[in-house]
């Protein structure tokens, strides 16, 4: 089984924010897979689905971002999931909007959700799909920026970015992290100047 984790914060007020782009990717892929999300365990919304003969568990922690690792560890322990089959999707301030970077074996990069997962799992070997949100344009504090919706001129391209991240997940499951890195990391899904 593959575990695909989308990071975000629970509740309507966070739904369309930059910090919740991981949730948005799993919701989009879940719709495509016909997956039905439940919230009976793991402190998360989760769904099990088949993708081209491979079983995938989609997990959106319902804890707040800073303690996302609790839900991930509960699911990993319950299903005894190998660390090489874990993929975490999250926003990244250091990548411009429209860029997606697939990677593995790196630190948290200051992302509190990723830091929580590293703490709980006791390792950094899991793969990541980092979705660029860029930096604040208008001097907004970073804490406000990540918890705000994308800028109006980015909304039209957001679906392309989400679909690019879904493609990264599909490649990870079917062909592995190297293939996902080689295909995704060189693309600009938002068509924004970098």
Q: Any idea which residues carry the catalytic annotation?
A: 19
Counting Cβ atoms within 10 Å, is residue 8 exposed (0-12), middle (13-18) or buried (19+)? buried
In 3D, which of 9, 20, 186, 157 has the Cα closest to residue 90?
A: 20
**Parallel, antiparallel, or unpaired: how do β-strands 127-132 and 86-92 relate?**
parallel
């Amino acid at each position: 089984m593959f575990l695909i984790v989308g990071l975000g914060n629970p509740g309507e007020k966070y739904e369309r924010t930059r910090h919740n782009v991981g949730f948005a990717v799993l919701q989009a892929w879940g719709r495509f897979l016909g997956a039905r999300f439940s919230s009976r365990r793991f402190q998360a919304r989760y769904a099990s689905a088949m993708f081209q003969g491979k079983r995938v568990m989609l997990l959106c922690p319902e804890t707040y971002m800073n303690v996302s690792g609790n839900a991930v560890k509960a699911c990993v322990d319950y299903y005894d999931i190998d660390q090489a089959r874990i993929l975490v999707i999250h926003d990244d301030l250091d990548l411009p909007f429209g860029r997606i970077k697939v990677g593995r074996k790196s630190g948290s990069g200051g992302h509190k959700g990723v830091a929580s997962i590293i703490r709980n799992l006791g390792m950094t070997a899991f793969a990541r799909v980092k979705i660029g949100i860029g930096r604040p344009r208008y001097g907004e504090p970073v804490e406000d920026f990540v918890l705000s919706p994308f800028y109006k001129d980015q909304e039209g391209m957001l679906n392309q970015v989400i679909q690019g991240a879904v493609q990264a997940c599909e490649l990870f499951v079917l062909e592995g992290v190297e293939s996902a890195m080689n295909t995704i990391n060189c693309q600009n899904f938002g068509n924004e100047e970098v």
